[in-house]
Amino acid sequence: MQNAPLRVFITGASSGLGSALAHHYAKQGAMLGLAARRGESLLALVDVLPNRERHCVYSLDVTDRAALHNAAHDFIQHAGGIDIVIANAGISRGTLTEYTEDLDVFERIFATNVIATVATFSPFIDTMREQAAAVQSQCRLVGIASVAGIRGLPGAGAYSASKAAVISYCESLRVELKKDGIKVVTIAPGYIDTPMTQANDYAMPFLMPADDFARHAAAAIARGDSYRVIPWQMGVVAKILRLLPNCLYDFLFRNAPRKKRAQPNE
């Protein structure tokens, strides 16, 4: 393993899980490439990180593939390579199929949560292959999924389906890249205390502080875990959910709390 600082690229870095991961890796001395839509928030984040001069900020929308690829190539050039890429950008809204206007919400969620994950990884793979072949670093591509992707939650069809897609996509990619020495890590958070979950008006079992999540996630990434649910208690719940027969799952979750639908112009 290299002695030089880790080179880490994170999308959705301006708040929530992305910001917590940025703080964690910066404290470890990493060089960061931080991408998010809110440029002012990114600059405010970098101002409080250690070794501010090491980090690069990219104000962009992850659904803009050209901007994302340009940022990836710029960071590779700036950092002299790449070690970890974390596709963290994601959005969540309640959706109901019978509402025609929710089709646009489905599209936005899939574009941000799924297609942008692919677009985030794509421009880094060639460089990672070269580094792995030269035994220069242990490269990681990290997809941030969700426990919500394990079973379809009522009222969250778009979000659950998008995170299920991230889990399956990362699994496919993991097998594809194994021969190249690139590890693909899937992290499935449960309830983490972030602005996204703070909007929920229902009980959230095993709610974890974001900085604790970042610490556990970074450990799983360093180990090269193929799949990790955080916190571990939600991992137990996830295993049980997988085993439930459909009839029992349907009975237990028919009245589950639902995330609010998007409002007009939101």
Nearest residue to 38 via CA among 78, 72, 9, 11? 11
Q: What's the per-residue H, E or C state across the chain?
A: CCCCCCEEEEECCCCHHHHHHHHHHHHCCCEEEEEECCHHHHHHHHHCCCCHHHCEEEECCCCCHHHHHHHHHHHHHHHCCCCEEEECCCCCCEECCCCCCHHHHHHHHHHHHHHHHHHHHHHHHHHHHHHHHCCCCCCEEEEECCHHHCCCCCCEHHHHHHHHHHHHHHHHHHHHHHHHCCEEEEEEECCEECHHHHCCCCCCCCCEEHHHHHHHHHHHHHHCCCEEEECHHHHHHHHHHHHCCHHHHHHHHCCCCCCCECCCCC
User: Where in the sequence numbering do the catalytic residues fall?
Assistant: 159
Q: Are 78 and 54 in contact (CB under 8 A)?
A: no
